[in-house]
């Protein structure tokens, strides 16, 4: 019981889904894939140590295995995430009952010596009655649904993948992606970040958009997963960084230089050509390296801490900013935190969205902002969707705010116009906060 349940590679999960789908009668039965994402599990490791956290994961694994009389599959896919295949199921209306049962298993206290430790989870379900739908698509939908549940604070979210039965196969999508990269069919949309000290936009995050993906009901997260699977992530990152540097050079600078942030995945972080690619792109466009920010998630760094620290340190030495995205959702600890070559911490939106209703989430936001202050790091709150949250973040001393209350992600020309039209009085009632 003291060891973590072993991680299961993606290919094993997908082959199991394929195998189970062959025995499902689509006229009567459903294939169900569930992804369980534990909430704020990093706090367990911080408070009680990683050994206790590992034993809890192992016990939860045993609970999930015993969920049904004949579980098709159960495995830990990443850190504190589990995948569950329940096949067959007769009626989608049973999923809320299944979610209740799973959450009851998760919520049951874990007894460690004199402690009763409780955790919560967010569940994403995919339900399909089609044998034509790919296993990859089922898993992607479940992962996306789990993320939606976590961000909204819901116990579960259901994605009916049957609506995608007529979607192109994964192979066709990968071919389309190849053509899109060759024909420059991707676009960058930019979501502004307000500096709360100066009350002006001083940064923006570049987000990839592909019109064809929208037409096929593929969201950004699913698109990135498909591109990673196709082995074209390095090509996409090359396109992204060059596009971001080229387009940001034309942004209005009346209120000072604006940093452009782009995301890198775990697979990109492992690529040996990542550093030379960034260096050559900076040389090509001749801009100040400090106007470029690389956003990388905690979980991506944790896949290979030594390599992640080494690569990010070299990038930071160029003068590029390093942002730790989704901070607080991974295994944040002082044990490795002091080694991260970070410039800023990005507070995950799941905490920001719920901070008005959840004292725990409010305290987490305060803690991260305080961490940033103590370690001389900027802090960025994403998911800011109302004025009240923005006001509180100003009072707490957060560095930047990002979210729909400020602006959604905008295409290049619209974003430039937004910068030109920006008025601080639209967002701030008083004079400068700090």
* pLDDT value, residue 3: 61
Domains contained in the chain, CATH given: 10-164 (3.30.70.270), 170-426 (3.20.20.450)
pLDDT given for residue 69 in this prediction: 52
| Token reading at 165 | 């039965």
- Residue 140: the pLDDT is 83
Return the half-sphere exposure (C-beta side, CA atoms, 13 A cut-off) of residue 81: 22
Give the per-residue pLDDT at 328.
Answer: 66
Dist. CA 375–CA 370, nearest whole Å: 9
- pLDDT of 217 reads 54
Q: Running DSSP on this structure, what letter comes out for residue 7?
A: B
Summarize pLDDT for 278-300 with one digit per residue, the tens: 999 999 988 789 999 999 987 77
Q: How far is CA 226 from CA 140, 231, 232, 237, 357, in A?
A: 9, 9, 9, 14, 36
DSSP E strands: which ranges in 144-237?
156-160, 186-195, 200-210
pTM higher than the cut 0.85: no
Element of type H or E holding 20 = helix 10-21
What phi, psi does 163 have (nearest 5°)? Answer: -70, -10
The whole-angstrom separation of Cα 415 and Cα 189 is 8
How many residues are there in the chain? 434
Alpha-carbon dihedral of residues 49, 52, 57, 60, nearest 10 degrees?
-140
Place of tokens 């973590």: 4
Per-residue pLDDT of the chain (434 residues; tens, 9 = 90+): 446 666 676 777 777 777 776 666 655 566 788 899 988 787 787 778 878 888 888 888 888 887 755 556 788 887 788 888 876 665 666 778 788 888 888 888 888 877 788 888 899 988 776 655 677 778 888 888 888 888 777 888 887 654 444 344 455 666 677 777 777 788 899 999 999 999 999 999 999 888 765 555 566 666 776 777 667 788 888 999 999 999 999 998 777 789 999 998 877 888 888 999 999 999 998 878 999 999 998 777 766 777 888 899 999 999 999 999 877 665 555 556 677 789 999 998 888 988 998 888 899 899 999 989 988 999 999 999 999 999 999 999 999 999 999 999 999 999 999 999 999 999 997 655 44
Block residue for tokens 């259901």: 158
The residues pairing with 159 across neighbouring beta strands, listed in sequence order, are 126
Q: Is the dihedral of CA 161, 167, 171, 173 positive or negative?
A: negative
Q: What is the pLDDT of residue 164?
A: 41
Which whole-number Å values give the CA distances from 393 to 28, 196, 344, 397, in the listed order? Answer: 51, 8, 16, 6
What pLDDT score does 193 carry? Answer: 97
Query: Which pairing describes strands 186-195 and 400-402: parallel, antiparallel, or unpaired?
Result: antiparallel
Residue-wise burial string across 109-130, b where 16 or more C-beta atoms lie within 10 A, e elsewhere: ebeeeeeeeebebbbbbbbbbb
Contact indicator for 397, 371 with CB cutoff of 8 Å: no
Characterize 74-102 residue by residue with b for buried, 16 or more Cβ atoms within 10 angstroms of its Cβ, and e for exposed: bbbbbbbbbbbbbbbbeebeebeebbeeb
The DSSP code for 68 is: S
**Alpha-carbon gap, residue 322 to 348, rounded angstroms:** 16
Q: Report the pLDDT value the prediction gives residue 68, as an integer from 0 to 100.
A: 58
In the Cβ-directed half-sphere of 419, how many Cα atoms lie within 13 Å?
26
Q: What is the pLDDT of residue 308?
A: 83
Q: Which of 271, 36, 304, 54 is nearest to 147 (CA)?
A: 36
Contacts of residue 299, Cβ cutoff 8 Å, sequence gap at least 6: 78, 79, 266, 326, 329, 330
C-alpha dihedral (98, 101, 107, 112), degrees to nearest 10: -120
pLDDT tens track for 31-77 = 788 899 988 787 787 778 878 888 888 888 888 887 755 556 788 88
C-beta atoms surrounding 246 within 10 Å = 15
Give the CA radius of gyration of the chain.
22
């Amino acid at each position: 019981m003291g060891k973590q349940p072993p991680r299961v590679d993606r290919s094993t999960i997908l082959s199991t889904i394929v195998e189970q789908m062959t025995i499902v009668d689509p006229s009567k039965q459903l294939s169900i894939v569930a992804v369980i994402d534990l909430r704020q599990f990093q706090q367990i490791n911080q408070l009680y140590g990683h050994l206790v956290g590992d034993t809890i994961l192992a016990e939860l694994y045993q609970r999930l295995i015993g969920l049904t009389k004949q579980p098709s599959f159960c495995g830990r896919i990443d850190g504190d995430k589990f995948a569950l295949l329940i096949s067959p199921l007769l009626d989608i209306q049973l999923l809320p009952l299944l979610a209740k049962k799973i959450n009851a298993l998760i919520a049951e206290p874990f007894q460690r010596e004199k402690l009763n430790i409780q955790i919560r989870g967010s569940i994403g379900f995919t339900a399909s009655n089609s044998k034509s739908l790919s296993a990859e698509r089922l898993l992607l939908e479940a992962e996306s649904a789990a993320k939606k549940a976590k961000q909204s604070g819901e116990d579960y979210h259901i994605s009916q993948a049957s609506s995608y039965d007529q979607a192109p196969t994964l192979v066709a999508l990968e071919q389309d992606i190849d053509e899109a990269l060759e024909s420059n069919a991707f676009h960058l949309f930019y979501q502004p970040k307000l500096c709360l000290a100066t009350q002006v936009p001083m940064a923006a995050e570049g987000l990839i958009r592909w019109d064809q993906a929208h037409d096929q009901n593929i969201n950004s997260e699913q698109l990135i997963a498909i591109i990673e699977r196709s082995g074209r992530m390095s090509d996409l990152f090359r396109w992204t960084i060059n596009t971001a540097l080229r387009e940001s050079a034309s942004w209005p600078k009346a209120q000072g230089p604006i940093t452009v942030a782009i995301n890198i995945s775990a697979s990109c972080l492992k690529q040996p050509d990542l550093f030379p690619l960034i260096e050559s792109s900076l040389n090509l466009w001749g801009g100040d390296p400090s106007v470029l920010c690389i956003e990388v998630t905690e979980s991506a760094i944790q896949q290979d801490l030594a390599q992640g620290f080494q690569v990010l340190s070299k990038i930071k030495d160029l003068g590029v900013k390093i942002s730790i995205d989704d901070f607080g959702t991974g295994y944040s600890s002082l044990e490795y935190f002091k080694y991260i070559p970070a410039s800023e911490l990005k507070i995950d939106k799941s905490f920001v969205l719920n901070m008005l209703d959840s004292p725990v989430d409010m305290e987490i936001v305060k803690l991260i902002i305080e961490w940033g202050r103590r370690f001389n790091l900027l802090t960025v709150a994403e998911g800011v969707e109302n004025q009240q949250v923005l006001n509180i973040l100003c009072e707490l001393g957060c560095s930047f705010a990002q979210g729909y209350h400020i602006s959604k992600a905008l295409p290049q020309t619209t974003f430039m116009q937004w910068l030109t039209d920006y008025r601080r009085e639209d967002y701030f009632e008083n004079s400068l906060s700090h």
